[in-house]
Structure 1
Amino acid sequence: MNINKNALSSEESAKLLSVLKARFEKNINRHQGIEWASVQAKLEANPEKLWSLHEMEETGGEPDVVSYDEITGEYFFYDCSEETPKGRRSICFDGAALASRKEHRPANNAVDMATYMGIEILTEEQYRALQKLGKFDTKTSSWIQTPAAIGKLGGALFADFRYGTVFIYHNGAESYYAARGFRGSLRV
């Protein structure tokens, strides 16, 4: 294992790139018009982004390329696991919510986990875009970015896919459930 927390060894990088390439080729509908060679070159030039993708993979996110921004030249990876990533479930929304719990505290929170991983929690718009690429969160739910005004009042938003529809809900930010985690995005 590499000593630098934000860097992978050459073996770890090669293994991850192989996994990402296989997923890319298997799910071509998610990124039509994008070539893997260009994505790989961008990843190899940004090893800290490769580390973040490794963290996404290790927590069960199954990251994949979902779009390319021609203006910024960035590829977008989202967690594309069928259900919210297993390694990121049973967590409340943010650090303030975690601190407010006096009993039965979860092990972590979505905002701090995402920050540590170097990724962003999906926005509502990104979540809806993801759902156009497949059916995700049919049995689980995912925290999504929450407007500051809602957060200030102790609330947070989450989303799921039921009855052929994306639903956006609210809950107390301190709540946590075995079937709720979060999905992330990464710009490379």
Structure 2
Amino acid sequence: MSKNKVELSPDQHEELLRILKDRFENNMNRHKGLEWAKIQTKLEANVEKLWSLNEMERTGGEPDVVEHDEKKDEYLFFDCSAESPAGRRSLCYDHEALESRKKHKPENSVIEMATAMGIELLTEEQYRALQKLGNFDKKTSSWVQTPSDIRELGGALFCDWRYGHVFVYHNGADSYYAARGFRASLRV
């Protein structure tokens, strides 16, 4: 990434911090015992991470703090939008899947988009942890990290919340749907 790409203007910086602080304060059940001032200090010391959070926000992810790793002194952000982020839908799983499509290729792949944004796809375990904080993806679904043995056979995994449970499904990695996007995490 070029240096220009990862820097926010002072106004963008200030606006994003305001949005994140408001979301933090309005959803204390997601991060009991954590203090915004410490998180903001960490964010301001990591401008490239702030840029990635802005990308999560810009694409509809509504990132919020969900955990603090005390050993590493890192805060973990997840996409907490009610449905899979609208700006990250209609994507196949990875570059290989994108290239394998002969017709009606989507604009991008999940893995390429996440990499460009400096974020990581949620794992199945992280997706299940997210669902303990609320009910997400009641109408949409989200791609999750896929084990290599599944991917090598042409598949990829996605999850959603239906009937009071997390469901994990599979699809061809080259498939894409208007109601399927991806959720991500970022460590700061």
Unaligned stretches of 5+ residues in structure 2:
none
1:55 correspondence with 2:61: no
Equivalences for residues 16-55 of structure 1 within 5 A:
16-55=16-55
Cα deviation, 1:34-62, whole Å, max 9, x if unaligned, reads: 00000000000000000000000000000
Q: How does 1:111-150 map to 2 (within 5 A)?
A: 111-150=111-150
> Which residue pairs with 1:73 in the alignment?
73
Structure 1: distance between partners of 2:149 and 2:6: 33
Q: Displacement of 1:73 after TM fit?
A: 0.6
The SS at the match of 1:37 is helix
The SS at the match of 1:176 is coil
Does 1:8 pair with 2:8? yes
Identity of matched residues, %:
68
- What SS does the aligned partner of 2:55 have? helix
Deviation at 1:112, TM superposition (A): 0.4
Q: Which amino acid aligns with 2:78?
A: Y
User: What's the offset of the Cα at 1:9?
Assistant: 1.2
Corresponding residue pairs, total:
186
Aligned match of 2:172: 172
Post-superposition Cα deviations, 1:18-39, rounded to whole Å, max 9, x if no partner, equal 0000000000000001000000
Output the amino acid matched with 2:120.
E
Question: CA offsets per residue over residues 160-185 of structure 1, 9 Å max, x none?
Answer: 00000000011000000000000000
CA RMSD of the aligned region, Å?
A: 0.7
**Secondary structure of the corresponding residue to residue 76 of structure 1:** strand
Q: In the TM superposition, what whole-angstrom CA distance separates every residue of 1:140-172 from its partner, at most 9, and x where no partner exists?
A: 000000001111111000000000000001100
CA distance in 2, matches of 1:13, 1:152: 41
Residues in 2 aligned to 1:54 and 1:31: alpha-carbon distance in whole angstroms: 20
TM-score (norm 2): 0.98
- Structure 1 position 66, deviation (Å): 0.4
Q: What is the DSSP-based 3-state SS (H/G/I as helix, E as strand, rest coil) of the residue aligned with 2:113?
A: helix
Distance 2:31 2:116 in 1: 27
How does 1:151-162 map onto structure 2 within 5 Å? 151-162=151-162
State the distance in 1 between where 2:6 and 2:151 align: 30
Letter matched to residue 161 of structure 1:
W
Query: Could you tell me how far 1:10 is from its partner in structure 2?
Result: 1.4
User: Distance in 1 between the 2:185 and 2:168 partners?
Assistant: 18
